[in-house]
Every structure is written in structure tokens, then in C-alpha cells.
Structure 1
Amino acid sequence: MTSGRKRTKRIWIGAIVLFLALVGAYVFSVYHKLQQTMNEIHAPIERANSDKRPDALSFTKQQPISILLIGVDERKNDRGRADSLIVMTVNPKKQSIEMVSIPRDTRTMIVGKGKEDKINHSYAFGGVEMTLATVEQFLDIPIDYYIKVNMESFKDIVDAVGGVTVNNAFSFEYEGESFPKGEITLNGEKALKYARMRYDDPRGDFGRQDRQKQVIEAIIKKGASFSLLTNYNDILEAIGKNIKTNLTFDDMKQIQANYKEARRHIEQLHIQGKGQKINGIYYLIVPEEERAAISQRLKEHLDIDL
């Protein structure tokens, strides 16, 4: 081999080594930032093992899991109330996710309080722990994990993923913004308003719940795209500021590895009820047969023996 060819070969080898070093540094940077963010948002809770989930879960066996999304309207010097409660059951073998919103005015027994009240008051009374226990009792299913989102800052997450696209069922205006019917793309501020409007919705809180789930579904799909890696720093910063969860970093790696096929089919379920005033306070009364039907549907999706 001539000296020219040797020199060219060394240049190519050097370029490849440099490229691999840069890629390695980038991957390490992403991984380090991801690990740091997951440690920041990890918030374990003190909770006795549920009799509805007596045995430990196995991610590698792809056992179905349930996650409670708690959208909280946090205020200064006040824990606030749960603005939205959405239960997600995730079944990778069926390649599906089922989402059900629990209307915040739903009247039920508050676990640990010993009285019936609006289900979203459980958060004001006892934080995440009481909310988890109350939702678990209401639906009669295990709630394995929770993800608490600060609704006011939720817009940061939407902006970090570059906005979301949703299919709006009808045109409306809310807080100075117009939302035409059909497919629309929303930035963070608009997405928050889109998810919050309910008084001008003919379906009231039920329509509002559907819009919240639309935005969440859009974020899930957008977040699964590798094209977002270039914007990972903004995404992780937004997550770190606005989210708390009892999922560990290792849990999330296991879920990413074993449960990602579940996002192929996302179905929204609805809890129906009738509004009623009791002692001058408005509640949503969910008939027992309605509650039992939703509970059975979720149990089937979680592969729980009925």
C-alpha cells in the first residue's frame, strides 16, 4: 500500500473514531439528563400494598399495568384540588391503552375521610395517597402508579414537543382564543385552554374530559417520535418542572422496552351519571350498574380474573 493510501485510510479511521466519540458523548449526555430528570420527578408514596394487587408486577412478562394521571390546579400555599383524574390501563399484549376520565364532581366515599364527597376533593384532603386509594376503591381495580401533572404549567410540555394536533368536534371560543371545528394544531397555551373549557360545551364536563384525553394522546404519540431527540433538553426540563410520579427511572426503562406496542390503539371510555344537588352542592351521581360496567371493562383489560 502506498503512503498516500495509508494516509487516506488513517484519515478515514480518525474520522470514524471522532464520529463515534461524538455520538457516544451525545448519547451519554441524553442519558445523563434523562436520568437526572427522572430522579427529580420521582416521588414515592407511603402506601400499604393493595389487596387488589397482592403480587409484585413483572415488566418483563408484560403484565398489564394501571396508571392514574392526576391533573392538579396548584396554588400558592394551597395543595389545590385534582382538576382531572384519568385512569390508563396499559396492555402490551393486546397492543392497547384504555383511558377513562372520572368526572371530578363524582360523589363517592373518600377513603380515609369516612364520608362521601366529590372524588376530586380526595386530593385536597389527603394528597396523592388518598386520591389513589379513593380511585382504586371506586373502580375496584389496582392502581399501580400515578403521574401528577401541574395543569397550569402543562403548556410547557406541549410547547416542548412542538405543539399537538387534535380533531375538534365543534367550534368555540374560550378566553380570547378561537378553536375552529376540525383538525387543529395547538401550542401550549392554546392546548391548556382547549382542555379546560367546559361551560360552553353541550356535553359539559364529559366533553372537557374528552378534550383532555385528546391532548394527552397527542403528547404520547408525539413523545414516541425519535425526531424529538434534538429537542430533548427542553422536553426534559418541562417534565422536571411539572410532573411527579412514583415510577422509578428503571421502571420507565422497563416500560419503554416492554410496553411501547400498547400505544398502537388508544381507546377512550366514558363514565355516565346524572347531576344532583345535595344540601345545595352539585354532585354527579354514577349509577352502580354504570360503575360496575366500567370496572369490569378495566379488569378485563388488566387481565384480572373476574
Structure 2
Amino acid sequence: MVQSPSSSGPGAAEQRRPRLSSRRRRILLTAAYVAVAAVAFGASLAFTMAWRLVSGLTVDEEQPEPGDVVAPPRVEVRPDEPFNILILGTDAGLLEDGRRGARRSDTMMLASYDPLTGGLSILSIPRDTYVEIPLDRLDEQLHRYIRENPTKITHAHAFGGPAVSMAAVSHLLNVPVHRYVRVNLEAFVNIVDLMGGVYICVPKPMHYEDPYQNLYIHLQPGCRVLNGNEAMQYARYRQDSDLARIARQQEILRALVQRGLDLGIIPRLGQIVDEIVRQVDTNLSESELVHLVAVAGRMAAGFSPDEIVMNTIPGRDGWMNGVYYWLHDEEGTRQLVDALIWRLTPPPDTVVQVLVRDASGPGGAGSRVAESLRQHGYNVEVVVDEVPVDETIVLIHHGDETMGKVLARAIVNQTATARVYAEPDDSAPADITIVVGRDYVQNQQ
């Protein structure tokens, strides 16, 4: 049977609050005003202002917090690939002597921004998801524990902090996890209060108590503005199912985004930023913070929280050694990641015709590319070129150029050489032509 990590293990130490420089606070506060200015005065002006702040900024050298096995990695981000940030909401159990214990991740969401499409998505991961944690992130004591016990993904943070959580999520979803943001419950409550609460319709009486987690939930049904403590109760209620709890967390997140678009928060921006700096831990650099806020400002005018695509990894209930787990559906998860993060699925009610020219030589590589595209909803025809070519290319004939770039990116992930060319041709039999070259085969070997 799975036991929680020992209070004497690497996750047991009380984590100190990150101390961010006053310079970072000034940058973050200025960037926040820039985002609000985008709503009031126009995104292009705000975006220009934000990028003026970037010059001269340096990336912080992150150090592991007490209880974190290693410092979280800074994974390189390619300019055309989605930027993935793991959002961790941590709890803190009470040990027998009343001290705080190892912090598990009560909430895990992978937020992804796609620079090609401008799309923002959030993929929630149930805390009880069965996962294999990469052992290279752990010390020898935990090596033995992991080998002998099935593991829930919520334990990854207690085993070694954000670095282990990032590695576990990357392994689970087969995507790079570039950065993390870690929020504790106190920060969540205070930030919601500073933003003026969130409007939520509580559908039923909610009552639940767990002294071990210092969790006391008592909510009555009805539509109203919830304060920070009430919003925390609503998000953590767990008397129905983990999937229902995740849906409530996503509902709270949408409500917070909606509140953030309200110009009425301007007088409280300084307090909100102070609370974020005091309580929120991240390995985002100053320049990345400014860039993300600038992107948010650019999107803010006319933006609706409903434009954020949210989903949860699919799976089923399961038991091992008498312990409950969420057993994720590997194929369903892969399809969801392709659709939400890589944006490989065509827009609804859109027919995209693709011609795959196999110029890779013997082996049928073009047919494999075509079958993969068909699985994602494209209409595909394959022809075989008699003369092989060295380089894989993508030709955009008509329609949305973004879709061609998305397909090229999918091929780049496998060949690292695919190039995109605009070749308008109203007489072309397809919207997009993909010429599969020998480099595709070489990189598959």
C-alpha cells in the first residue's frame, strides 16, 4: 500500500517563501499596468511599452528551495513551439506534533501558449493519476521507495519539489515543460480577496472536513461573489469526484481571468503584485514575465475567458493494492495533447486538404505521415515522387497560413529541418503540400 513520503524525507522541510528583488517587483507592477493599459488604450501601444522593459534584464539563477531535491531546470524554448508552464497549487499536511509536513501538489495544470495560433489552453491533471516518476530526479532513498510502490502524481512535489513535478508531467504527457509557477493556499486566498472575489454559482450544499489538511468546507448553494476563503473551499471540495473538483478549479480560474479584465482592479494592482511577489514561486525570468504580461495585454482587448481551452486528461478509476488511482488513457491523452498543445486538429467545421508527396525513397515514409494527419482530421492524398529529395518542406497554396505552419512544426519535431514556403496557387489540388524528404527517414532511425 502506498504511504505518503516520510516526514524525515526530502519533502518534509518547511519551504521558505521566495524573496524576489524589489527590481522584479517594479518590473512586474509596471508590466501589470501595461496589461491593463492594453484594455483601455490599445494593445499595440501597451505591447511596445512592455518590450521596452526587456532590454538589460537578466535571468535569475534559480536555487532549490529547502525540500526541493534539485533546482528546477530551465528548458530551452524554440520560438515556434508552445510555451508550457506547470501551475502547482500546494497543500501542507499536519504531522503528529502539529508541524507542517511534506507539501503535495493539490492542483496541477499545464498552461500552454501557442505563439503560432495565439491560442491559450490549460490541461488539468488529476492528483491521483498513476505515474512513473523519472528516477534521475531523486536520491537513492527515494529510488527504492519508487521502485517498490506505485506512485500518484500528487506525491511528485513532496518527493523533490517542482523539478520532480515537471519531470513527471513531461514524462506523462510527452511534451516539454519549460517553467513552473508554485502557489500556496494562503496566496490563493489573499489574491482572490485583493481582486474583489469571484462570482460563482454554488450548485449544492458543500460540507467536508479534513483536520489533517486543515481543511474545513461549509458552503451553501446559490450564486454570489465568493471571498478568497470561500473560493478555496469551492475549489478543494472533494466529496463527489476528482474530475468534478478539477471542473470547479477551472471555473474559478475563468472567474479570476474575468475579474482581471475589470478595470476596477487598477487601484489594487500594487497590492496584488506585492502578494504575488511575496507568496508565488516561479523560475520564469524577468524578461519572460514581461513578455507573458505583454502577450496578455495584446490579447486582452475583446478577450473572453471562454477563449481559454480547458480540459482534463482522460482515464478511468482503478485500484492497486487497495489504493485508488486515476489510470490515464494513453491514446486519449496523446490525442488531447496534440489538439490542445500542438494544435494539430483542424478548426471545427473546417476541411483542410493535404497532398503528401513522398520523395523520401523506399520505405513508405510519406504514407506514415499521411496516416498520422488523417488521424487528426485532415483529408490527405499521397503521391510518390520518383526522384528523392534531401529536405522535407511544406508548401502553403491557399487558406490559412497558420495551419500550414502548425503542420510544419509537427514535422520539425521529428526531422528538425522542415521549412515552410508560401506558394499561392488557386489551381492547386490541395490547400497544403508536404514534400517528405530523406531527412525525415534519417531522423526516424
CA distance in 2, matches of 1:288, 1:131: 19
Q: For residue 402 of structure 2, what is the aligned residue in structure 1?
A: none
Which stretch of structure 1 is more off in the superposition, 256-265 or 235-244? 256-265
Which residue of 219, 224, 231 maps to 2:268? 231
* Residues 1:246 and 2:264 aligned together: no
Gaps of 5+ in 1: 1-27
- How far is 1:102 from its partner? 0.5
User: Is the Cα–Cα contact under 8 Å of residues 33 and 233 in structure 1 kept in the other structure?
Assistant: no
- How far is 1:258 from its partner? 2.9
Q: For residue 83 of structure 1, what is the aligned residue in structure 2?
A: 106
What is the Cα-based RMSD across aligned positions, in Å?
A: 2.9
Which residue of 197, 221, 227 maps to 1:187? 227
1:107 match: secondary structure: coil
User: Which structure has more RCO (C-alpha within 8 Å, separation ≥ 6)?
Assistant: 1
User: Is the Cα–Cα contact under 8 Å of residues 92 and 258 in structure 1 kept in the other structure?
Assistant: no
CA distance in 1, matches of 2:107, 2:248: 11
User: Is the Cα–Cα contact under 8 Å of residues 128 and 324 in structure 2 kept in the other structure?
Assistant: yes
CA distance in 1, matches of 2:117, 2:107: 27
1:198 match: secondary structure: coil
The structure whose residues are more often helix, as a share, is 1
Which residue of 166, 181, 204 maps to 1:171? 204
For residues 56 and 289 of structure 1, do their structure 2 counterparts lie closer, same or farther at Cα, with a shift above 3 Å needed?
closer
- How far is 1:239 from its partner? 1.5
1:282 match: secondary structure: strand
CA distance in 1, matches of 2:116, 2:263: 23
- How far is 1:138 from its partner? 0.4
Amino acid at match of 2:180: Y
* Residues 1:271 and 2:309 aligned together: no
Deviations 1:184-229 (A, max 9, x none): 3211111000101121x3xx11010011111122222322444312
Amino acid at match of 2:321: N
User: Is the Cα–Cα contact under 8 Å of residues 89 and 301 in structure 1 kept in the other structure?
Assistant: no
For residues 99 and 241 of structure 1, do their structure 2 counterparts lie closer, same or farther at Cα, with a shift above 3 Å needed?
same
For residues 99 and 33 of structure 1, do their structure 2 counterparts lie closer, same or farther at Cα, with a shift above 3 Å needed?
closer
* Residues 1:34 and 2:36 aligned together: no
Deviations 1:246-297 (A, max 9, x none): 1122211111223442864112112232222211211111122222222222
Q: For residue 70 of structure 1, what is the aligned residue in structure 2?
A: 88
The structure whose residues are more often strand, as a share, is 1
Amino acid at match of 2:259: K
User: Is the Cα–Cα contact under 8 Å of residues 105 and 155 in structure 2 kept in the other structure?
Assistant: yes
Amino acid at match of 2:219: E
CA distance in 2, matches of 1:160, 1:212: 19
Gaps of 5+ in 2: 1-22, 33-56, 64-70, 94-98, 136-142, 208-216, 345-405, 412-445
CA distance in 1, matches of 2:180, 2:82: 15
Amino acid at match of 1:216: L
Amino acid at match of 2:329: P
User: Is the Cα–Cα contact under 8 Å of residues 82 and 120 in structure 1 kept in the other structure?
Assistant: yes
CA distance in 2, matches of 1:101, 1:33: 26
TM-score using structure 2 length: 0.53
User: Is the Cα–Cα contact under 8 Å of residues 272 and 286 in structure 1 kept in the other structure?
Assistant: yes
Q: For residue 110 of structure 1, what is the aligned residue in structure 2?
A: 133
Residue pairs, 1:251-262, within 5 angstroms: 251-260=288-297, 261=299
CA distance in 2, matches of 1:99, 1:299: 9
Which residue of 182, 186, 193 maps to 1:159? 193
CA distance in 2, matches of 1:236, 1:48: 25
For residues 117 and 129 of structure 1, do their structure 2 counterparts lie closer, same or farther at Cα, with a shift above 3 Å needed?
same
Amino acid at match of 2:291: Q
Structure of greater Rg: 2
- How far is 1:78 from its partner? 2.7
Deviations 1:8-35 (A, max 9, x none): xxxxxxxxxxxxxxxxxxxx9x946837
- How far is 1:89 from its partner? 1.2
CA distance in 2, matches of 1:145, 1:49: 7
Amino acid at match of 1:288: E
User: Is the Cα–Cα contact under 8 Å of residues 147 and 245 in structure 1 kept in the other structure?
Assistant: yes
Q: For residue 12 of structure 1, what is the aligned residue in structure 2?
A: none
TM-score using structure 1 length: 0.75
For residues 259 and 176 of structure 1, do their structure 2 counterparts lie closer, same or farther at Cα, with a shift above 3 Å needed?
closer
Deviations 1:102-138 (A, max 9, x none): 0111101011255441011111111110000110110
Amino acid at match of 1:137: H
1:109 match: secondary structure: coil
